[in-house]
Structure 1
């Protein structure tokens, strides 16, 4: 009997590679990447406090830089008592100059309630590119009844 289960005869060497395990591994990797890809989004890194919202102690020697966004999407830069309207590119240049003069100056963002979220994210991203490590968000406390 010369069938495939005959052990008495000489075996012929097989000249092909079984690729089924490779295909299985590739499909598993494809599924893993498809699941994890939406989770890999870029964002602005903001160091937020882990406590209830309390007033920040004002430091006499280091007055914060306050950047505001109004309802129309205009940007304002306030340092001390002066507040000037600037565009986004000019804002980045001025913040870089101010942080070069005083490296530990805190930066606070004040945005109008009706400003789209994208405007605030764009502002915070611009501040991050300008070298601001920590950004604070200014809010008003709720009215007491």
Structure 2
């Protein structure tokens, strides 16, 4: 795995794996269910990914959207390709909603709604709480087969 994938907690945050991509729970949650969709390659430019990685995005994004719809009933979803500090190709996947979602005794408001997501307002999760989020979200991917 590349450095970006490892930085976002792989293998502990792994929700689902594909030939060219991994889906990880994002340790800092700007909204409940925020993910990292990361290419497994060392590419640092989207255009440098192999054709199979681009083709597989249709399958991967469908799986993400089904899982997050069930998990948090989002109103919109944002795929943010920022790649400033973490150079390998990846997206921050942020489910968007008006108000908040509650999970595990905590509230997760969408502080930026209805404008751009407020990544600075992310709720950091670690340890047992992050592991519980991974287990919870993983169930929505496993349910798809």
TM superposition score normalised by structure 2? 0.26
Q: Which has the larger radius of gyration?
A: 1
More RCO (CA 8 Å, sep 6+): 2
- Identify the structure with the greater strand proportion: 2
